[in-house]
Amino acid sequence: MSKVKEIISVNNLVKKYDNFTAVNGINFKVGQGEIFGLLGPNGAGKTTTVEILEGLRSPTSGSAEINGIDVAKNTKAVKKIIGVQLQECSFFDKLNLFEIVEMFSVFYTSKPNVGEILEKVGLLEKKKSYYKTLSGGQKQRLSIAVALVNDPKVLFLDEPTTGLDPQARRNMWELIENIRDSGKTIIITTHYMEEAEKLCDRVAIIDSGEIVTINSPNNLIRELVDSGFKVEEKIQDATLEDVFINLTGKSLRES
Ligand code: ADP
């Protein structure tokens, strides 16, 4: 991270909902071209953090910058350089894929090449198909296409493979890596540790509004193993899932 240009900087960020502190003074930096994962149990504060970065919620104190722009003070400028993966919309049913991507592109001054974007996500041959005919994986890839219409510097992905079968999931991982390799920075939230381990250059593990650790998946696993951790049935020394459970406990936190 030290060698690359910093694109996101989060400084002592706090978010309170009345008396409840959802985000309690977190700090992290993300380098340009990183896939950075935010991991944590339900209620940890991931969504709040991401939505502050996206300019959708304002921080109680502290600050966050994307490409040097303060997200709370200059939300409009930030929105021009970020892409956010949206969840399903019912009106999509009435449009074909080309029309959906085209519709989102009208929000931006620089007009994208809709065909090129559909090709990037592997949906060009489906451009005349209607949304409802798509598989789960294709719908997710379309939501990434829509997030790419403004050629963003930073792409936010919220659980991009939830509900997908293993093939569709691996296909999505490949797409996400291709997007990173094209120079974009990706912030991803996921509950799948295997996914974080495979995809993320670094992860931040958040619990109760605080960052418990930040490092590459490999370094986190090595640290845990070096501390004497052993899995019951040894397949490999430890997985990222072991790191996660070791730091945040086994109890369920359904919200
Ligand atoms: P995560 O995405 O990690 O599940 P969230 O950021 O959604 O966590 O939530 C963090 C905590 O803040 C949770 O306890 C949640 O109930 C609370 N919270 C989130 N949004 C609001 C809100 N608008 N008003 C009050 N509490 C909220």
**What crossing angle do the helices spanning 166-181 and 136-147 adopt, rounded to 10°?**
20
List alpha helices for the chain, DSSP H.
46-53, 75-81, 97-105, 114-120, 136-147, 166-181, 193-199, 217-226, 240-248
State the distance from the centre of ligand 1 to the C-alpha of 158, rounded, in angstroms.
Answer: 15
List alpha helices for 148-216, DSSP H.
166-181, 193-199
The verdict on the CB of residue 57 being under 6 Å from ligand 1 is no
The verdict on the CB of residue 43 being under 6 Å from ligand 1 is yes
Which residues, in sequence order, are CB contacts of 106 under 8 Å at separation 6+? none
State the distance from the centre of ligand 1 to the C-alpha of 208, rounded, in angstroms.
Answer: 10
> How far is 48 from 25, CA to CA, in rounded Å?
13
Q: Which two tokens stand for residue 43?
A: 């209620």
Which residues, in sequence order, are CB contacts of 211 under 8 Å at separation 6+? 26, 27, 28, 204, 205
* CB atoms near residue 47 (< 10 Å): 17
Pick the atom of ligand 1 nearest to 41's CA.
3
- Burial (Cβ within 10 Å: 0-12, 13-18, ≥19) of residue 9: middle
Residue whose CA lies nearest to ligand 1 atom number 24: 17
Given a cut of 50, the residues of the chain with pLDDT beneath it are 254-255
What are φ and ψ of residue 48, in 5° steps? -60, -45
- Alpha carbon 110 to its chain's center: 24
Span 230-253, pLDDT tens digits:
877 666 777 776 788 788 876 656
Q: What is the pLDDT of residue 103?
A: 84
The verdict on the CB of residue 45 being under 6 Å from ligand 1 is yes
> How far is 205 from 226, CA to CA, in rounded Å?
19
State the distance from the centre of ligand 1 to the C-alpha of 23, rounded, in angstroms.
Answer: 9
Going by C-alpha positions, the residue among 162, 167, 163 that lies closest to residue 191 is 162
The verdict on the CB of residue 44 being under 6 Å from ligand 1 is yes
Residue whose CA lies nearest to ligand 1 atom number 20: 48
Q: Which two tokens stand for residue 198?
A: 């495979």
Residue whose CA lies nearest to ligand 1 atom number 18: 22
Pick the atom of ligand 1 nearest to 42's CA.
4
State the distance from the centre of ligand 1 to the C-alpha of 38, rounded, in angstroms.
Answer: 15
- Burial (Cβ within 10 Å: 0-12, 13-18, ≥19) of residue 56: middle
Pick the atom of ligand 1 nearest to 17's CA.
25
The verdict on the CB of residue 59 being under 6 Å from ligand 1 is no
Residue whose CA lies nearest to ligand 1 atom number 12: 22
Q: What is the pTM (predicted TM-score) of this model?
A: 0.89
Beta bridge partners of 20: 17
The verdict on the CB of residue 47 being under 6 Å from ligand 1 is yes
Going by C-alpha positions, the residue among 2, 72, 64 that lies closest to residue 32 is 2
Three-state helix/strand/coil letters over 118-149: HHHCCCHHHCCCEHHHCCHHHHHHHHHHHHCC
